[in-house]
Amino acid sequence: MTTEYSGTGDPARSLALLWRTRERASRKGRPDLSVDRIVRAAIEVADTEGLAALSMRRVAERLGVGTMSLYTYVPGKGELLDVMLDTVYGETADAAADDPAGDDAAAGWRQRLQRVARDNWARYLRHPWLLQVATTRPPLGPHVIARYEQELRAVDGIGLTDLEMDAVVTLVDGFVHGAVRSAVEAAQAAARTGMTEQQWWDAHAPYLERALDARRFPLAARVGTAAGQEYQAAGDPQRAFEFGLARILDGIEVLVRDRPAR
């Protein structure tokens, strides 16, 4: 569930931090602090304690400084969250953007889009709090722009219009965002309950087999039994992700293939 929104800080201050056009330290600033160090600490708080724990005070505690020391560098939580988002998006975007002749250059567009999707999937698993931030107003920082450039490059030159290129990367990003939620929730459920998905299934499956009336629910009984036996769980998020991604790519392939020659 969304608990935070990007783009809530002061636009001028957020952009200055995102692009580092002005390091806000003054003569009163601490020499052992910087925007980068504060942002890294904030990401660590969100990764380890959850987004609900994130506050300027909690970040200051992690750094071992007074809360007011942070405001010399970062105006507030809204601007901080924007820079956090931009920073984690840079984990995969920078290398790809700086190396247009890399491995992906020789791959087909399907392989390139698969890499985009799997990079985004892995980013959500590293930083589950990303699922709680609405980014309809994205932080327009260098790493976010680099990621967009990387994703567009995956479908550049395959016959799509500019608007279709944007729509394709939006479609893939939206699919990953929805698909990865079940994987994150499964991991969180295991951590909080101390029971793996298979342990949960092993505990519940015998009762379900006795209670489920196959005459009343013939399809649910047949398909559900086959899926449960295969997954040893109620579902398999990774398999669902791979299946859905392949179907999306199939649809894009039809669009490209049926495009009239220019």
CA 96/CA 90 separation, integer angstroms: 10
- Beta-bridge mates of residue 5: 134
Summarize the chain as % helix, strand, coil (round to 5).
70, 0, 30
Q: What is the structure's pLDDT at 100?
A: 45
Q: What is the structure's pLDDT at 22?
A: 66
CA 77/CA 84 separation, integer angstroms: 10
Banded model confidence at residue 101, pLDDT cuts 50, 70, 90:
very low
What average pLDDT does range 117-134 have in this prediction? 96
pLDDT tens-digit profile of 134-162? 999 999 999 999 999 999 999 999 999 99
Q: What is the structure's pLDDT at 62?
A: 97
The values of phi and psi at residue 190, to 5°, are -65, -40
CA 196/CA 187 separation, integer angstroms: 8
Share of the chain above pLDDT 90, in %: 77
* H-helix or E-strand spanning residue 109: helix 109-126
- Contact 112/153 with Cβ under 8 angstroms? yes
pLDDT tens-digit profile of 172-231? 999 999 999 999 999 999 999 999 988 988 898 888 888 888 999 999 999 999 999 899
Residue 85's SS3 state is helix
CA-wise closest residue to 125 among 6, 7, 241, 245: 241
Strand locations in 56-157 (E) = 133-134
Q: What is the structure's pLDDT at 159?
A: 93
Strand locations in the chain (E) = 4-5, 133-134
> What is the architecture of the domain spanning 83-257?
Orthogonal Bundle (1.10)
What is the CA angle 61-65-66, rounded to 5? 90
pTM reported for the whole predicted model: 0.88
Q: What is the structure's pLDDT at 1?
A: 65
Distant-in-sequence, close-in-space partners of 218: CB < 8 Å, separation ≥ 6: none
Is it the case that residue 124 has pLDDT exceeding 70?
yes
CA 38/CA 78 separation, integer angstroms: 14
